[in-house]
Amino acid sequence: MEEVEHKISVLEGTKQALLEKNASWLRELSNQTIHCASVHQDSGSIVTAVLVYSLSKLVERKDFAKIKGWDKMVHDLSELFTLAIKAAMENEEEEYNKNMGRAREVLDSFGSIKKYVDDVMRKAAVNKAAKVYEHGISLGQAASLLGLTNWELAEYTGQGKTAENKYNETISEKERAKTALDFFEVKE
């Protein structure tokens, strides 16, 4: 029930934030979806995370001013989010995923600037995969969930703060380095 309420709250928030062209709210909503996406790993949660983050980027860069048909796109997305909310309330997971998939297609098929939107979506997927990794899922599994390669994720995660987490250090660096030196029979 908690998860359903969360899905509904994110989509209701997204509808409103899109109308207000509020990029930071959209980004915050996208971050909220990561908990759900990491635990359930269902296509609906993954699509929501990527889609909402992509929208936050488009709004942040004021792309709505350049994109012909922005208002219609917001209207179409809003209708699909309403259908997804209805499906979530009725526990129709398949229907929920289907509507979120259709919402992604709306953004995907954005004729005039398709290539640009594709690029934004790809970067959003990398960002979300890195977040999933940050939450304790392995790099390979995070890449696989978002349909990415480990190559795309390696650089991005390397520049984040994941390695600085206090739980990251499992044995001392001295011990690990010594293991490596001994294995190769190289002197300290």
Partner 1 sequence: MKALIFDSGPLINLSMNGLLFTLEELKKNFDGKFLITEAVKREVVDRPMNIDKFELGALRIQRLLTKGVLEMASSVGVDEAWLKNETEKLMIAANGAVRFKSIAIKIVSDAEMSCLALSSFLNKKAVENLIVIDERTTRMLVENAQNLERLMSEKLHRAVKVDLHNLKDLARHKFIRTSELVYVAYKAGVTQLEGKKVLDALVYATKFKGASISFSEINELRKM
Looking at the Cβ atoms of 65 and 159, the one nearer to partner 1 is: 159
Tokens 């208002």 belong to 71
Query: Does residue number 158 form part of the binding site for partner 1 (CB under 8 A)?
Result: yes
**Residues 54, 63: contact at Cβ < 8 Å?**
no
Write out the two tokens for 143. 């890449």
Question: 11 exposed, middle or buried (CB, 10 Å; 0-12, 13-18, 19+)?
Answer: buried
- Residue numbers 135-154 binding partner 1 by CB under 8 A: 135-141, 143-144, 149-151, 153-154
Residue 48 contacts by C-beta under 8 Å, 6 or more apart in sequence? 7, 10, 11, 33, 37, 100
Residue type, 153: L
Residue 130 contacts by C-beta under 8 Å, 6 or more apart in sequence? 142, 153, 156, 157, 160, 162
Site mask, partner 1, residues 36-65, x = CB under 8 A?
A: --xxxx------------------------
Query: Does residue number 115 form part of the binding site for partner 1 (CB under 8 A)?
Result: no
Looking at the Cβ atoms of 111 and 172, the one nearer to partner 1 is: 172
If phi > 0 it is left, if psi is from -120 to 50 it is alpha, else beta; for residue 67 that is beta
Query: Does residue number 5 form part of the binding site for partner 1 (CB under 8 A)?
Result: no
Q: Per CB under 8 A, which region of 23-31, 60-68, 109-117, 178-186 contacts partner 1?
A: 178-186
Q: Per CB under 8 A, which region of 23-31, 45-53, 86-94, 158-166 contacts partner 1?
A: 158-166
- Residue numbers 21-40 binding partner 1 by CB under 8 A: 35, 38-40
Residues making contact with partner 1 (CB under 8 A):
35, 38-41, 133-141, 143-144, 149-151, 153-155, 157-159, 162-165, 167-174, 176-177, 179-181, 183-184, 186-188
